Amino acid sequence: MSKPEDILKEYWGFSSFRPKQQEIVNSILYKNDTVALLPTGGGKSIAFQVPGLVFEGVCIVVSPLIALIEDQVSNLKDRGIKATQIPSGSSTDDIVRIFDNIKYGRYKFLYLSPERIQSKLIQEKLNELSISLIVIDEAHCISEWGHDFRPSYTKLNILRKLAPEAKIAALTATATTKVLTDIVSILELENPTILQESFYKENLSLNVIYTNDKLSKLHRIFQKNQAPSIVYVNSRKRTKELSKYLNQHGFKSGYYHGGLQINEKKEAFDSWMSEEKPIMVATNAFGMGIDKANVGLVVHYNIPASLENYVQEAGRAGRNKKQAFALMLTNDSDIQTSREILKRTLPSIQDLKEIHKKLYQHFQISLGESTLETYSFNILDFCNKYKFIPAKAFGAFQILNNYGIIEFNQGKRKTSTIQILISSSQLINYKETNHLRKKIIDVILRMYAGSFENDVKINEFEIAKNAKVTSFTVVEILEKLETDGIIKYQKANGDSEIIFLVPREDDKTINRISKNVTSFMKHRFQKIENMITYIETNKVCRSIQVLNYFGENHAEPCGHCDVCLNKRKAFKKDVSKNIVNLLNKNQPLSLKDISDQLQHTENDILIHLRKLIAEEIISITNTNTYFLN
């Protein structure tokens, strides 16, 4: 058996684990069921990937987001580690081939969505594997009290039956006590080791700032701040608008959201990491894979959907242990808007029934009909056709996805592919007829092997860069090559994809889940109310509020949040007045007498006594007692 430290060094280049990582690794290697709550930036992935490499057999990783799965699989492959997934829309033959590759190709990691695991075929194929470890990532999704509840997570105890010898590791960055209890119960964990790191970050100052002019406030904030920063907003459109505003006022910023093309995301991310553009304006899609230690400031321009979201996003500041700030800009209008947005975007049961029925009608699927075909789907076209509010329809699609009625992949931008349809000699003759086509074809042949035999994935942006032309020119040439019968070209598109997972039964389908959906909606409203309570509670330290929410009930005031600083200012303002009132009623008093009666430390009182003496409001006797002039 390889040593975990050797694996860590070989594949990740680190000589030792972080303290909490080490505890998780040890617990898994000792073959304990393990629940690990490691806040953002704690290195959860390494904590299970290293044991997965130590053990013989395959590690099954359950993750809720396709993008997260693709990112982790890609990162492992880049390190020379065999990892794979089952892409959406895979046929039965595709799935059998993937499992054969895992079984005979000595793959170490298989990433699956929780919905995939409910498939009988997947369960049969999992039964054929030697499974060493089961990892439930983002385990808070298992509880309806979690901020990203996924009903399919509640059925993951099937993995215990499929691989009874394998131990389970459940990992999350944010979970309340109720959520932790649900994780242990629903996954049927056996005497689990529970490892929990405190949410308290001594170097991170949490602040809520009330302002009716957020733009001006943001401008002033960045006049004072030079550290790399993230500004979180609640819409894709606002990322671009706010970044433009900052750039117009002399600040270097980029923007990021889930709808950008892959090359646009990479460009925005790279320019932020290199600090060419040290400010990133982003939706909460910006978070996955961020490991930048010197982020000094996170600003929430809009109210997050939950305290869990807020803590995760704010926690991206100060990972280098230096002083950092999390600022939330808000006002009364914002608070009201947050409630209204949730009401507008969460569909009622009746809305859900109507949108569900129209979805089947849109693709001309009859009552009782079952289809596993993958449909390309434009949300705006659908909403315009049936007069639905897009935000509410999108909320309905997410609910239908979460409850296993459809598989909905929003804005899934497939990678473009090409296959050359003629022989190499014919291609040589053809490309000589046009200089630009020759240039593009030669670049493709250098960059992508196997294009004569199979479809190969291409990136038009990378081709353009190597050919020193625009990506628009590349697309134009490729389309011409397809028209001439030289290649088969399938261009990437930004439409969503939908797969219908159950036969059409209209209201009956929704009636079966209506009770659970109603409970889910109730919890969603409670989450935003908890967030608003945090914002409006200005008498209790911000850190104490956060820690209490996550079950840490013995915290001390942080001393540097807006609440603590305001208390300190109020103390400084009131204590001199209290000293004067006290001396007005008494004979000369000593420092100790004054401290005891006002219940403040002697050091604090002494500062104000000196100030009052300088202002000639009080005097001091030869015996070091104080009296009013």
Task: Give residue-wise pLDDT tens across range 444-469.
Answer: 998 888 888 888 888 887 888 888 88
Task: Give residue-wise pLDDT tens across range 129-158.
Answer: 999 999 999 999 998 787 778 888 999 999
Question: What's the CA gap between 179 and 238, in Å, rounded?
Answer: 33
To which CATH superfamily is domain 204-330 assigned? Answer: P-loop containing nucleotide triphosphate hydrolases (3.40.50.300)
Question: What's the CA gap between 602 and 556, in Å, rounded?
Answer: 21
Task: Give residue-wise pLDDT tens across range 13-42.
Answer: 998 998 889 999 999 999 999 999 987 666
Q: From residue 317, give the alpha-carbon distance in Å to each of 199, 205, 265, 298.
A: 13, 10, 21, 6
Q: Looking up tokens 């961020």, which residue turns up?
A: 290
In the predicted structure, residue 354 carries a pLDDT above the cut 70: yes
What are the extents of the domains in the chain?
4-196, 204-330, 339-413+496-527, 416-490, 562-628
Q: From residue 564, give the alpha-carbon distance in Å to each of 106, 376, 543, 558.
A: 56, 53, 10, 7
Please give the share of the chain, as a percent, with pLDDT higher than 90. Answer: 50
The CATH code for residues 4-196 is 3.40.50.300
Same fold, 339-413+496-527 and 562-628: yes
Classify 339-413+496-527 by CATH class. Answer: mainly alpha
Classified by CATH at the fold level, domain 562-628 comes out as Arc Repressor Mutant, subunit A (1.10.10)
In the predicted structure, residue 608 carries a pLDDT above the cut 90: no
Check: CB of residue 145 under 8 Å from CB of residue 182: yes
Arch. (CATH architecture) of 416-490 = Orthogonal Bundle (1.10)
Per-residue DSSP letters for 154-218?
GGTTHHHHH-TTSEEEEEES---HHHHHHHHHHTT-SS-EEEE--S--TTEEEEEEE-S-HHHHH
Q: With bands split at pLDDT 50, 70 and 90, how would you rate the model's confidence at 571?
A: low
Q: What is the arithmetic mean of pLDDT over 326-347?
A: 91
Q: What is the arithmetic mean of pLDDT over 563-574?
A: 76
